[in-house]
Structure 1
């Protein structure tokens, strides 16, 4: 709960805690893109399909889920084995893949990155955590480092850059922040996976999707007039007044209030 000096009122604090309890539970999973990695049990499968699901998470949730299932089927529902061992001939089904502005060129580069990366590393966590510096309070450096690593290839298509956000371009990085929430947050409720060890929940930054952004503004948790990386940091700082060790658990509450049509 907030201190007496906190700008977050007890009404808002109680509302958010109530909604975290309502949405941070297994019943939330089937209708959300997080249901995609929940279909898998191998750590690397969870990482790969979680990453796909987060990157493709714009538009209707049902469509996002269906598109991710299509990708999983192309990989024989064994994504880790596929990305490590696929041949050029195995890539033919992906040539017609498309989701909104994400097309086959993007898809093929993602597979190229995954193959090169997983042949050298056991977990995708290192692609983010290795760029953190001692004393980092947020994952900003991890996001910047990952973007640079992801695009560091002579095969990198310029058009694919827009699909991997970075604070350097002032993006709120909502999809990557969501993916990191899935991988890092740990509790007993079974929604987020908590399979990564070198990034703490307290370093996470809240994803600012349209629902979260609108509700956070209505509740006075955001003052910044535009939505960018600084806005995501501002929101997270407000949420840390409620729980400094796990601020992004309130993503559940803000998103839930948004889809409920809170104060429209």
Structure 2
């Protein structure tokens, strides 16, 4: 059943839910707690990227395995990524989160090293192909750069490509964490070269179902085309910070069973 609300009523309803969920209490049960363990920019963004990469499935399992990754990186992600020796990667043996395994984690560390060594870091890579109202081409470019190093073909599936009609939920969530800055204590807003107006909603089962019930989304699949449709709808509500409504859609779905 679709809940039919006038535009202003829908905006007011969602704004209330944003206020309810976009606060430090949200961190306690969310994977974003992992990068919140750090204060250095590079540590935050590497912890956030690795955590978001495994952010599917049971949330407790995501948090547990993300913490395990941080332990294996000696709780110094940037130092480990930029200074590790090949033999240091052996400690990842046995790591697994769903289909992401130790070989994938080794590749991610190698690719991240390449990005900091040769491309001025994660922010610079994502900023390079940014468009005024979208970072989807940036994500596509990022994937190309990420796999410039020799790699296993299997690992490529763990970095989505919006230009191949993926909703790229986990990378869009990572970008929300890095770019949104509203002083509410959840998102970090540590990337100065990108803007909230360029972000896309991390579209998953929960946010997609809620968006459909609110009439924000008609497409049934949670794919790249659905993301574009949802982006347009959310930008009509707030063009400067459309992705703040992710808190409302996610909260309504996960915590309220909307």
Please indicate the TM-score interval, normalised by the length of the shorter structure.
over 0.9
In 1: Cα distance, 2:91 partner to 2:63 partner: 18
What's the TM-score once normalised by structure 2's chain length? 0.95
CA contact (8 A) 2:21 2:248 kept: yes
Over aligned residues, Cα RMSD in angstroms?
1.3
Q: CA deviation at 1:8?
A: 5.1
> Within the alignment, does 1:222 sit opposite 2:222 as a pair?
no
CA contact (8 A) 1:215 1:262 kept: no
Aligned residue in 2 for 1:114? 112
In 2: Cα distance, 1:8 partner to 1:109 partner: 49
> Within the alignment, does 1:177 sit opposite 2:172 as a pair?
yes
CA contact (8 A) 1:185 1:194 kept: yes
SS across alignment from 2:238: coil
Flag the 1:91–1:8 CA change in 2: closer, same or farther, 3 A: farther
Out of 77, 80, 83, the position equivalent to 1:79 is 77
Out of 43, 47, 50, the position equivalent to 1:49 is 47
> Within the alignment, does 1:158 sit opposite 2:156 as a pair?
no
Flag the 1:174–1:8 CA change in 2: closer, same or farther, 3 A: farther
> Within the alignment, does 1:247 sit opposite 2:245 as a pair?
no
Aligned residue runs from structure 1 range 75-154, under 5 A: 75-133=73-131, 136-153=132-149
CA contact (8 A) 2:205 2:222 kept: no
Aligned residue runs from structure 1 range 11-90, under 5 A: 11-90=9-88
SS across alignment from 2:18: helix
Q: CA deviation at 1:121?
A: 4.5
In 2: Cα distance, 1:260 partner to 1:23 partner: 10
SS across alignment from 1:137: coil
In 2: Cα distance, 1:152 partner to 1:80 partner: 20
Q: CA deviation at 1:240?
A: 1.1
Which string of whole-angstrom CA distances, capped at 9 and with x for unpartnered residues, describes residues 43-63 of structure 1?
Answer: 000000000111100111111
In 1: Cα distance, 2:235 partner to 2:38 partner: 32
CA contact (8 A) 1:236 1:247 kept: yes
In 2: Cα distance, 1:166 partner to 1:245 partner: 24
In 2: Cα distance, 1:26 partner to 1:101 partner: 31
In 2: Cα distance, 1:195 partner to 1:9 partner: 32
- Which 5+ residue runs of structure 2 have no aligned equivalent? none
Q: CA deviation at 1:141?
A: 1.2
Q: CA deviation at 1:221?
A: 0.2
Q: CA deviation at 1:98?
A: 0.5
CA contact (8 A) 1:172 1:227 kept: yes
Q: CA deviation at 1:80?
A: 0.5
Flag the 1:8–1:130 CA change in 2: closer, same or farther, 3 A: farther
